[in-house]
Amino acid sequence: MSDCIFCKIIKGEIPSVKLYEDDDMVIIKDVAPQAPVHLLLLPKQHFANIMEMTDEQAQILGRCLKKLSALADGFGLEGGFRLVSNKGADACQSVEHLHIHILGGKKLADKMC
């Protein structure tokens, strides 16, 4: 999508710190980290959130999460991590391209909100 910041990051039109890339996704560092390790998993296909996800995109996302499980230790997440995907105004979603926050690198708060 031409005006989507994450599509531009995926295409390399906007700089980012890319830690991983394959045919399905990129994993970048969040520009405003909220934990010692704060990464964003960005599926390469543009869709706004899980409500807009097709069955095929759901399969791709499943592959991405499976791959993440193999990569996590290399990102400094040996102690565990939290996955968050904000959807819509109440969740304060600010970028309308589905993304999974990957948070860790310390003991996180035991309450989500």
Binding string, residues 39-78; x marks residues near ligand AMP by CB under 6 A: -x--------------------------------------
Cβ 54 to ligand AMP shortest distance, Å:
20
Torsion of CA 41, 65, 51, 9, to 10 degrees: 20
Residues between 73 and 102 that touch ligand AMP (CB under 6 A):
86, 92-95
Assess 5 for contact with ligand AMP (CB under 6 A).
yes
Closest among 46, 68, 66, 67 to 57, alpha carbons compared = 46
Sheet containing 37-43, strands listed edge to edge, beginning at the edge strand earlier in sequence: 18-21, 25-29, 37-43, 100-104, 81-84
Q: Which of the ranges 18-26, 28-36, 61-69, 73-81 carries the binding residues for ligand AMP, by CB under 6 A? A: 28-36
Q: One-letter amino acid identity for 17?
A: V
Among 2, 13, 23, 32, binds ligand AMP (CB under 6 A): 32
Contact 97, 41 (CB under 8 A): no
The residue assigned the tokens 């990051």 is 9
Active site residues: 99
Which residues of this chain interact with ligand AMP, rule CB under 6 A?
5, 14, 16, 28, 30-32, 40, 86, 92-95
